[in-house]
Amino acid sequence: MEKPKCYVYNVIKVGSQRESRGGYCGLMNNGEVQRGLKPRHINLIALGGIISSGYFLGIGYVLDKAGPAAILAYVLGGLIVFSVMLCLGELAVYRPISGSFISYARDYISPAWACGVGWSYWITWVSYVPSEMIAAGIIMNQLIPTIAPEWWAVLFGLLVTVINLFHVEKFGETEYWLAIIKIVALIMFSVLGFLIFLGIIGDAGFLGTSILFGNRGFAPNGYWSAFLTMVIILVNFQGSEIIGLAAGECQEPEKSIPKAIRNVVWRILGLYIVPLLILVTIFPWDKASLEESAFAAALSTHGMTWVGKAFAFVILSAAISCSNSGLYGCSRAMYSLAKEDMAPTIFGKLDQSGVPRNAILFSIIASWIGIALYTVDASKSLYTSLLALSGFSGAIAWISICWCQYNLRMRLRANGEEGKLKFKTPLFPYVTLFGIWVQVACLIVAALTDDLRISLLIGVPILIIPIIWYKTRARLSRHLPPLSEDA
């Protein structure tokens, strides 16, 4: 068997900054994570984290706020995803390491910022993963009412735990097929919906723009409401950055990551915007609700009531898939924090299969605590507040990715080394600055909006406290923490 090629990371000094440079190992070697994820796995892992049960169940909330103009919010959200993914692609190909954007933040912004972003990102998924498990429990309770949703949630929590504790290739294979189910469901809806629009099936005949522009027009609550909705939609788009977290475990990252980024971006746009456009042309926006999937309700309105149960299965697979991807993301974030000396070292250890098992166990236990909080809080207000973190800390993580790419490119340009990049973000720096400042605007809007302000009230302290802790510890120890093995 051919011996895997390994490259050792070296530390170089660029100006007053430290920068780590290097490569990777083909198999686990001296504590390296195993590269068992194939290109098709990388494509679907990120997509699985994005198309959650919230998209299928929560689209009713989006339509209620913005009406058909919600399409504009999805387009703008897609452009933000595009810019962030391009920036992440440049970083991940230049330095393909597990837990990437935390390590990038350390080297290209500051260690203290990396600590804050890393812990904030981990808490984001720990808060969000239980919501998907609870969503799966609610769906199963509707199908089998004799078993409470909480018990189903625990069962799915155990299932996701087992999947993530598998050899990383088995995790990738599981997520691949779970994501396929969601993609097929959205394609089927798009086809059936288009046939309904044309009047080929159903009793409504050719619909044209009668529903799209009927009932108070395209933007019944004003175009500003679409921008407010886009802030919430960014939560649905979160998960694409998992490609970066998986960079250290994929084969041939210089080839698979750019391809995955291009594919995922276009699939996001197609699987979000096209189904939504068809939905608002065949289903009145004011009839959408959170009680059931708007997709299922739309088809049921036109005589396809059998779709309800089929979509229940799809939502179930979406919840498990998103929990799967989310747990993967937060466990790799915890692993990276530990390797960077920003979390207990026990979470930076790998088992013989090259999997950060301790970080996975800690993350799933934290997720189970979230389920427990949900079950004992009758008002559900505490858990809802925790979920509000995902919008804030997700945006912070994305801003950090763009910021890192900007600093990396400017550093390489200053040293005449820009040609070393195998993948470049096009139209630099405009694409990068767009990704940063539009998300900053989203956070400002959130601060001024009553329904969204809680995300900042909770999220800002969770970001700042680790930063203060890191700076205080560094000042007391009077030396910088050692560079991680991966950096």
Q: Say if residues 81 and 265 touch (Cβ distance below 8 Å).
A: yes
Look over the chain and give the mean of its residue pLDDT values, rounded to a whole number. 76
Enumerate the β-bridge partners of residue 14.
17
Given this model, what pLDDT does residue 164 score?
67
Give residue 383's pLDDT band: very low, low, confident or very high (50, 70, 90). Answer: low
What is each CA distance from 241 to 62, 256, 329, 385, 437, in whole angstroms?
23, 15, 9, 23, 18
Distance, in Å, from the CA atom of 121 to the CA atom of 462, rounded to the nearest integer, reads: 10
Between 374 and 380, residue with greater pLDDT:
374
Give residue 8's pLDDT band: very low, low, confident or very high (50, 70, 90). Answer: very low
- pLDDT tens, 243-289? 655 555 555 667 777 777 777 667 776 778 888 899 999 998 888 77
What is each CA distance from 194 to 207, 215, 293, in whole angstroms?
10, 21, 18
Query: Across residues 24-32, what is the average pLDDT?
Result: 38
Highest mean predicted confidence (pLDDT) among 4-18, 19-33, 188-202, 323-337: 188-202
pLDDT reading at 81 higher than 70: yes
In the CATH hierarchy, which fold is given to the domain comprising 10-477?
Answer: Amino acid/polyamine transporter I (1.20.1740)
Spell out the residues 6+ positions from residue 81 whose beta carbon is closer than 8 angstroms to its own.
237, 240, 265, 268
Which residue, chain included where needed, has tokens 């058909």? 68
Which pair of tokens denotes residue 223? 């175009």
Which pair of tokens denotes residue 43? 């494509």
φ, ψ of residue 19 to 5 degrees: the values are: -140, 135
pLDDT reading at 348 higher than 90: no
Given this model, what pLDDT does residue 54 score?
65
Given this model, what pLDDT does residue 469 score?
92
Angle subtended at Cα 171 by Cα 170 and Cα 177, rounded to the nearest 5 degrees:
90
pLDDT reading at 408 higher than 80: yes
Q: Say if residues 239 and 48 touch (Cβ distance below 8 Å).
A: yes
Domain boundaries, the chain: 10-477
Q: Say if residues 405 and 122 touch (Cβ distance below 8 Å).
A: no
Between 45 and 135, residue with greater pLDDT:
135
Min mean pLDDT across 5-9, 95-99, 152-156, 342-346 is at 5-9
pLDDT reading at 136 higher than 80: no
Query: Across residues 320-346, what is the average pLDDT?
Result: 82
Put residue 30 in one of left, alpha, beta given phi > 0 → left and psi -120 to 50 → alpha: left
pLDDT reading at 111 higher than 80: yes
The reported pTM is 0.78
Q: Say if residues 280 and 68 touch (Cβ distance below 8 Å).
A: yes
φ, ψ of residue 20 to 5 degrees: the values are: -100, 140
- pLDDT tens, 206-223? 888 888 888 888 888 888
Given this model, what pLDDT does residue 99 score?
54
φ, ψ of residue 208 to 5 degrees: the values are: 60, -135
Given this model, what pLDDT does residue 248 score?
52
Given this model, what pLDDT does residue 404 score?
94
In the chain, what percentage of residues exceed pLDDT 70? 74
Give residue 435's pLDDT band: very low, low, confident or very high (50, 70, 90). Answer: very high
Distance, in Å, from the CA atom of 67 to the CA atom of 69, rounded to the nearest integer, reads: 5
Give residue 114's pLDDT band: very low, low, confident or very high (50, 70, 90). Answer: very high
Give residue 387's pLDDT band: very low, low, confident or very high (50, 70, 90). Answer: low
Highest mean predicted confidence (pLDDT) among 6-20, 84-98, 182-196, 423-437: 423-437
φ, ψ of residue 250 to 5 degrees: the values are: -110, 155
Given this model, what pLDDT does residue 249 score?
54
Distance, in Å, from the CA atom of 156 to the CA atom of 162, rounded to the nearest integer, reads: 10
pLDDT reading at 487 higher than 50: no
Min mean pLDDT across 34-48, 84-98, 181-195, 460-474 is at 34-48
